[in-house]
Amino acid sequence: MNIVVLVKYVPDATADRRFEQDFTVDRVEVDGLLSELDEYAVEQALQIKEKRSAGEGAEEIEVTALTVGPEKAVDAVRKALQMGADKGVHVVDDAIAGSDYLATSLVLAKAVEKLGAEKKVDLVVTGMASTDASGAVVPVMLAERLDLPQVTLASVVETQGDQVRIKRDTDAATEVVGASMPLVLSVTDQSGEARYPSFKGIMAAKKKPLETWSLGDLGVDAGQVGLDAAYTAVEDATARPPRTAGEIVKDEDGSGAKALADFLASKKFI
């Protein structure tokens, strides 16, 4: 079985995230890391591998971590390798900078196809959303491009043979969804804590295969991706004006509740 897990390199949410002059996300000056929500994807991929490669009917399973992003994005793949992925692929090309969802999903689709040409891909596991763009759309676009079923936003994942079953919470209900592999699976942060790389894992990762591919390797024309090819254009990015400091009171013998009630009344909430 062949599992590909998509990992994105994102600016650290606790750092000062910002935009470049051309309104693309600053991915170079701001410290980055593997998107925390993609750690859950790596974890689920590894759990599937561990369950299915043990005991009776044990299978040979390979987990490949794939990222599309700038030079530094290789850190996201390295982290996945340290956690336990077997192999890494980093698609990097100057022409990709500024790509929108459509172009990103195109490049990812071509990379998955290339991996599949070597050995059929059964399962693509992704995070629920990236912590920078937060679109939660790339996994579905990828499924659409690869003509694969999607089972998305899983909080519980089970596989048996070529069947995948997930549990998920939608706005209105809790659902069980089933589909046959090959498919695209996205998992939420409810799916179970992601493991930390062990010292052994960190050492082992250094020897794992890590390939770097360019657009040329994927047969993607540079004109199809990047800022100029984007289907959307950002016209302006403004930092939120700092909030004017509010009034803070200390509660003493019920004074806090009264002051808060006065405030709510002044704002006509009561």
| Binder among 6, 37, 46, 187 for ligand FAD (CB under 6 A) | 37
Residue among 178, 209, 216, 223 that touches another protein (CB under 8 A): 178
220 contributes a contact to another protein by CB under 8 A: no
Half-sphere exposure of 200 (CA within 13 A, CB side): 1
Interatomic CA distance for residues 36 and 130, integer angstroms: 8
Tell me: does residue 156 bind another protein (CB under 8 A).
Answer: no
* Binding status of residue 12 toward ligand FAD by CB under 6 A: no
Q: Which of 11, 32, 69, 98 lies at the binding interface for ligand AMP (CB under 6 A)?
A: 69
Whole-angstrom distance between the N-terminal and C-terminal Cα of the chain? 61
- Of the pair 250, 268, the CB lying nearest ligand FAD is at 250
Nearest to 37 by CA among 102, 124, 134: 134
Q: Which of 28, 54, 203, 260 binds another protein (CB under 8 A)?
A: 260
Which residues 22-61 are close enough to bind ligand AMP by CB under 6 A? 35, 37-38, 41
Per CB under 6 A, which region of 5-13, 21-29, 226-234, 258-266 contacts ligand AMP?
5-13
Check residue 166 for interaction with ligand AMP (CB under 6 A): no
Per CB under 8 A, contacts with another protein among 3-42 are: 13-14, 17-19, 23, 37
Can you tell me which of 12, 26, 36, 211 binds ligand FAD, judged by CB under 6 A? 36
Any contact of residue 107 with ligand FAD (CB under 6 A)? no
User: In whole angstroms, what is the distance from residue 184 CA to residue 189 CA?
Assistant: 17
Place of tokens 């360019």: 214
| Orientation angle between helical segments 74-83 and 36-52, nearest 10 degrees | 40
Name the pairing type of β-strands 9-11 and 32-34. antiparallel
- Using DSSP's 3-state secondary structure scheme, residue 67 falls into strand
Instruction: Say if CB 22 and CB 98 are below 8 A apart.
Output: yes
Other CB atoms within 10 A of residue 189 CB: 15
- Please select the residue that binds another protein; options are 76, 89, 128, 187, rule is CB under 8 A: 128
Q: How would you class 202 by CB atoms within 10 Å of its CB: exposed for 0-12, middle for 13-18, buried for 19 or more?
A: middle
Classify residue 71 by its DSSP letter.
G
Residue whose CB is nearest to ligand AMP in the complex, by number: 127
Q: How far is the CB of 157 from ligand FAD (least distance, A)?
A: 18
Residues of this chain that bind ligand AMP (CB under 6 A): 6-8, 35, 37-38, 41, 67-69, 104, 126-127, 129-130, 133-139
Residues of this chain that bind ligand FAD (CB under 6 A): 36-37, 189
